Structure 1
Amino acid sequence: MSKAVKNNDYCWVGSQKNFVDEINIHKISHMVLGRFGGNSSAGQYKNEDGCIVWVNDDLNYEFVVLLDAHQTAESAELVVSTIQSLKEDIKSILTHSPRKSFDCLYKLLLRTFESKGFKEACKKVQGETAFLCAVRKDKFLWWFSVGDCILYLNHPELSNLSEYQQNHRSFYEWIGKVNTFELEVPCFSIGTKELRQGRNHIFLTTDGLVECPNVDFANPRKIFNSIYEFTNEESVWRLLKEIQKNNVRDSTTIVSWFVEIDIEGSQPSK
């Protein structure tokens, strides 16, 4: 079912291998990457998702990019190659404190996406992509989001208050031929979250999971309700198996991992 990846740096675009009619589980250190390219019986024949996963246990961070393109995978390929070209800069940034790391990473991504060279390259691709970058460093989670990929955080203290989704799922935002960074005011969102004491589950997904017919995965409780009866690896596989069984057409890419936090989170004053 799975294939371990010894290297803690990993990237993929659906144009390399589409996983149509195939569930694939990849383990990258303590993280699980799950992919299903959709059902050919529903009309699927390509996969335009993409991802980057970098893990550094010594510096206590995970860096993830998730992409969901349409029309072609060219925009996802462009973003992946661009982020890969910044790898050494990003890894250097992530050696700093969480506050400095997130501030510098935001400035780097914004400067890159607003650069003349990148915007010219976007004009030459066919189609456009949603973009979600999520970084966990120490007890904090940070994200930069363009479009409709989803970032969930599950912890008992949050789920008891029905809080799961962290980023704003925003439609009509993309990077590519139609490009939010060509607007007079680029449209995107960023955010940070303090992780809670204990076991935190960070879960990113493209929209194939939540838009699958005959299931209710648009409700995050349905995603997480039974997930802890199994290993992370098997839970992701079971979610993908469920949407395969329900004849989903759209591709789905999931990145899932757990983080243990020793320090108590902020609490209201008494």
Structure 2
Amino acid sequence: MNELSWAGSDKDFVDELDVSLIGSIAVGRFGGNSSAGQYKNEDGCLVWVDESADWEFTMILDGHKTALSVELVVDHFNKKKDGIQRVLMQPVGEALRRMDTFILDIFQEPDFMEACRRTTGETACMIVIRKDKYLWWFSIGDCILHVFHPELIALGERQLNQRSFYEWVGEVNTFEMPIPCYSSGKKELRQGESLILLTTDGLTECHGVTFADPEAVENTLKGVSVSEGVRKLLEEVRRKGVRDSTTIISWSVKIEETATMPSDL
């Protein structure tokens, strides 16, 4: 098991760019530029990789006001690690069906909800799981998920989710409402190589570049390794003097199995 658990309050990476490999996954962190007024990092991430069981569990967080809500969510999911991993050891159909309710239940546990009420600040949170040839995601707020594959790119598909504003976990909590608001989805990965990338909004809101356009992200990643691509993105953020912190999780998956095709081919 390869894993990483981090909150910006552990190490802020202000003025510092770091790209680390967790198994096959590149995790890039940049805390923002102190010259622009940055002095803290409210991002976070959680990565678990089990190569023998053919799955990856990733979480990326973008806190608001303080990093306390990020710490709270990361700690809560670390406590649930054994249960989540037991679900992921099931056959893919059963595992990802069960994950729909399993993750929702984790966010709605009474003790966790009470801890959220007592914390200061709130966080966006995106969870992305890859098992076999399927991608599963659960998103609260405005983090972004890209998948780059030639067949999808040819049809203009690069970003799997839409940024959703005014959704958080923490002091302000999506799950306190009568109807919790979040987005989720599943995607069959195409045969061949897919590049998966999650990012906080420090990347997309970088002034002077067009990383809000998924094609600009794709072009930056072309022709280099996953870790080199993540570093190139973060170097551009640093060069443009961005204040906001940026966290990126990215990895490449090669699928041997054929994917769904239309009946008239």
What's the TM-score once normalised by structure 1's chain length?
Answer: 0.96
| 1:3 paired residue number | none
Matched, 1:208 2:202: yes
Deviations along 1:78-134, whole A, 9 cap, x unmatched? 000000000000111100122211122221221121122111100111100001000
1:261 aligns with 2:260: no
What per-residue deviation string (whole Å, max 9, x for no partner) do you get for residues 62-91 of structure 1? 000110001000000000000000000011
2:40 aligns with 46
- Corresponding residue number in structure 1 for 2:9: 15
In structure 1, stretches of 5+ residues that fail to align are 1-6
Taking the aligned partners of 1:233 and 1:113, their CA distance within structure 2 comes to 31
Q: In structure 2, what is the equivalent of residue 185 of structure 1?
A: 179
Q: Which residue of 1 aligns with 2:143?
A: 149
AA matched with 1:68: D
CA distance in 2, matches of 1:45, 1:127: 17
Structure 2 Cα separation of the partners of residues 255 and 226 of structure 1: 15
Q: Deviations over 1:21-54 (max 9, x none)?
A: 0000110111100000000011110000000000
**Corresponding position of 1:4:** none
Q: Please state how far the C-alpha of 1:194 moved relative to its aligned partner.
A: 0.2
Amino acid at match of 1:234: E
How many residue pairs match? The answer is 264
Alignment of 1:10-159 (within 5 A): 10-159=4-153
- In the TM superposition, structure 1's runs of 4+ consecutive aligned residues that sit over 2 Å from their partners are none
2:220/2:233 contact within 8 Å kept: no
In structure 2, the gaps of 5 or more residues are none
How big is the alpha-carbon RMSD for the aligned residues of Structure 1 and Structure 2? Answer: 0.9
- Give the percent of matched residue pairs that are identical in Structure 1 and Structure 2: 50
1:198 corresponds to which of 186, 192, 199: 192
**Deviation of 1:162 (Å):** 1.1
- TM normalised by structure 2 equals 0.98
Partner SS state of residue 106, structure 1 = helix
CA contact (8 A) 2:220 2:232 kept: no
